[in-house]
Structures are given as structure tokens and as C-alpha cells.
Amino acid sequence: MKNRLVEYRKTFGYSQERLAARLGVSRQTIISIEKGKYDPSLNLAFQLANVFETSIEKIFLYEEKGEEKS
């Protein structure tokens, strides 16, 4: 799943470490989400949306498997 987490994190002035601490997860979890290697749980996605005062859909961009961008 693609996401805009890096963009939101930098806009709000969070380091990966600070965001991880705020959410109670490891820095590696934040790195993995940012790289698209790990999809967060629904609970963590809601927590991220709350931190950045937006909706989950604005942070995480859903694409069907096999769907290609033109």
C-alpha cells in the first residue's frame, strides 16, 4: 500500500523516532510503513490519522493488487 507518511511526518516536524515514541511503536515500524513494506493495523492507521489531524484515506493510498499507474 502506498502512503504519504513521510510527507505528513515532515510537515508536522516529526522525526521517525519521535513519531514512533508518540505511537508506542519502534522506529523500524515507521521506516517499514514509509517504505511500503508493512501495512499498519487499522488501530495504528487511525492513530496516525489522529496525530496528523486528517483521515486515513489521505495518508494511505489504496491500490488493487496488479493495478498499474498510467
- Residue 34's pLDDT is 97
Cβ atoms of residues 14 and 59 within 8 Å: no
The set of cell numbers assigned to 8 is 505528513
- Residue 67's pLDDT is 55
- Residue 64's pLDDT is 74
- Residue 62's pLDDT is 82
Q: What is the pTM of this model?
A: 0.86
> Cβ contacts of residue 44 below 8 Å, gap of 6+?
23, 25
Quick check: helix, strand or coil at residue 2?
strand
Quick check: helix, strand or coil at residue 3?
strand
Q: Which domains does the chain have, with CATH numbers?
A: 2-60 (1.10.260.40)
Closest CA to 47 of 17, 27, 21, 13: 21
Residues in the chain where the model's pLDDT stays below 70: 66-70
